[in-house]
Amino acid sequence: MYNYSELVDEELILLLKERDKLAFTEVYRRNWHILYLHAFKILGNEDEAKDLVQDTFFSIWAKASDLEIKTNLNGYLFVAVRNRIFSLIRKKKANPDFVDILITELNQLDNATVEHIDERELIRLIDLEIEQLPKKMKEVFNLSRKEFLTNKEIAMKLNMSEEAVKKQIHRSIKVLKLKLGNYAGISMALISVIHHRI
């Protein structure tokens, strides 16, 4: 009989592949809270974050026999949760180009950075920076971010080409990245989700 709490991740993975329920329980015990915090920081909703992490673990148990973990267990779990977060964000009525940029930004964040983010402060900072954007850039960005219009819809509304809209969104992201550094992506994720809920 194993003392599961003393097993290293590699040993737990091997047992997990054999569908050992106690190994799964130990993996869950070690990782649930940090994965929940990660999801909550991005989604800003407790229930959504809990459901997403639970679903991730259910999925892992369902395919336990076929698990192929090429990195470490912690990294594998974070990627699994982050992929589900991306799917959830994509399902919201967001501009797909904006979501693609957002996902690229989130992929560049390390897990330690996400853990120490103060969402309210970042939202305040990014809103201040958006107010400083050139008028047309700010208008395009907000139509994409808050009203979830596609590039085509924004182009028609503002009498611009789709390519010009796309460039304005990319430029606004670039400006915000310069101002907010690595936190730009997570800030926009939080804002997108918050405005969608409102």
Distances in whole angstroms, Cα of residue 15 to Cα of each of 55, 93, 113: 21, 41, 31
pLDDT per residue over 139-148, tens digit each?
988 888 777 7
pLDDT band at 71 (very low <50, low <70, confident <90, very high): low
Distances, alpha carbon 52 to alpha carbons 63, 87, 141, 173, 179, in Å? 17, 10, 28, 27, 31
> Where are the domains positioned within the chain?
4-91, 96-197
Running DSSP on this structure, what letter comes out for residue 108?
A: T
C-alpha–C-alpha distance, residues 133 and 176, integer Å: 9
| List of residues 6+ apart from 55 with CB closer than 8 A | 84
Q: For 87-111, how does the pLDDT look when each residue is reduced to its tens digit (9 = 90+)?
A: 777 676 555 665 566 666 666 555 5
Round to whole Å and give the CA distance between 197 and 153.
21
Among left, alpha and beta (phi > 0; psi -120 to 50; other), residue 3 is beta
Q: Which listed CATH number (1.10.1740.10, 3.50.50.60, 1.20.1250.20, 2.60.40.10) goes with 4-91? A: 1.10.1740.10
Query: What's the pTM?
Result: 0.56
- DSSP-assigned letter for residue 8: -
The mean per-residue pLDDT over the stretch 161-181 comes to 80
Q: What type of residue sits at position 87?
A: S
What is the reported pLDDT for 194?
Answer: 39
Least confident of 114-128, 129-143, 152-166: 114-128
Q: What's the rounded Cα separation, in Å, for the pair 118 and 198? A: 20
